[in-house]
Structure 1
Amino acid sequence: MVNGDVFTDYPFGRLPQRLEGQAHLVLVDNPPQHPEGDFALRDGRVDPNGAERHTFSGVSVLSPALFDGCEPGAFALAPLLRRAMERGRVTGEHYGGYWVDVGTLERLQQVDRYLREKRIDGD
């Protein structure tokens, strides 16, 4: 799953093909608008608690089992992930590449500048 409001150069082929639990999350460095982060990463497992927290990038692999018991319609993903984390069922990784939460016009313009510069540089 990739949230529709993020832009990243994450290499999606690196995502696990088989889960070791119910979810695998890609975490990134905390952006200025979210300095406290979301989750900690310890030995390849994501934990809802911890001193060194990272931000959930919106890139993940989710097992259908994560949604067992959910009713049709809209619902928040975070409580499901936290319950799975408490049972040790969420793996994760830290990605240090380019990632932006495109939630404002300013951040959308940041991505536009990045892409224009990348095209000019030939990357």
Structure 2
Amino acid sequence: MHPDTAVILCAGLGTRMRPLTLTTPKPLLALDGQPILAHTLAQLRAAGIKRCIVNTHYLAGQFDDFLRTYPEVTITHEDELLDTGGAVASMAAKGLLPKAPFYIVNGDSYWVDGPCPTLARMSNAFDPARMDTMLLLARAAGAVADTGKGDFIWPRDGALARRGERDVAPFVYAGVQLATPALFTGAPEGAFSLNLLWDKALETGRLNAIVHDGVWFHLSTPDDLDRAEAVLQAREVGNTT
């Protein structure tokens, strides 16, 4: 199973990245000489993705200018923010999404592949008969930058689960997932988070995950971006492009 379509979520305000995002949307901030989004698109092209749908809202004109050289990209503009789940559900309602599995990638995602390309690992492990979505998780301890209390717990002898309110979880969502249209069956209208659909899939045993075997960069604040730049400039890890 090899997906040929990806959604890239680029409509957020990037408030934690201010003041950098006062003039530039977060996915277009420079990292290692290119916009973050350019690295993401390169990863998707290398994985055989033929079509990308990018949602925009904040400073949308800058995306229009940047993406002119990417003929595989369709832009959908949100007059009002729909959050992550609402954005993808809106694309489905407009007939923009395939009937087959597709990737959903945060516009600020930046990762370095391990021994096997990350997106290929996901597609090879994905079984749409048993899964509605597969998340890419990173080990919080190995991520570049602070990941807070983490997102998921996954004991060796147990099932994937959400972090409890007082827990510190070893895994964090790395901003990439592989989903089927079934994930959005019965989804509400308007703005909502993908977390709502993940919880439903967890309850029915149809959410799975794979742990990243390379390096993942959490890009939330200017300090995160500076730290990532320093690591890449030191060539402590490989580049994605």
Structure-1-length-normalised TM-score: 0.78
Rounded to whole Å, the distance in 2 between the matches of 1:56 and 1:87 is 20
| Residue of structure 1 aligned with 2:133, choices 20, 23, 26 | 23
Aligned residue number for residue 151 of structure 2: 38
Q: Specify every segment of 5 or more residues in structure 2 that has no aligned partner in the other structure, as ranges.
A: 1-103
Q: Specify every segment of 5 or more residues in structure 1 that has no aligned partner in the other structure, as ranges.
A: none
Distance 1:53 1:112, change over 3 A: closer
| Residue of structure 2 aligned with 1:99, choices 216, 236, 239 | 216
Query: 1:44 touches 1:93 (CA, 8 Å); kept in 2?
Result: no
Q: Does 1:63 align with 2:180?
A: yes
Identity %: 30
Computing the radius of gyration from Cα coordinates, the structure with the larger value is 2
Larger strand fraction of residues: 1
Rounded to whole Å, the distance in 1 between the matches of 2:150 and 2:105 is 18
Query: C-alpha displacement at 1:112, in angstroms?
Result: 1.6
Query: C-alpha displacement at 1:53, in angstroms?
Result: 4.2
Aligned residues: 122
Larger helix fraction of residues: 2
Structure with the larger RCO, 1 or 2 (CA within 8 Å, 6+ apart): 1
Query: C-alpha displacement at 1:49, in angstroms?
Result: 5.2
SS in 2 for 1:16: helix
After superposing on structure 2, the runs of 4+ consecutive aligned residues of structure 1 that deviate more than 6 Å are none
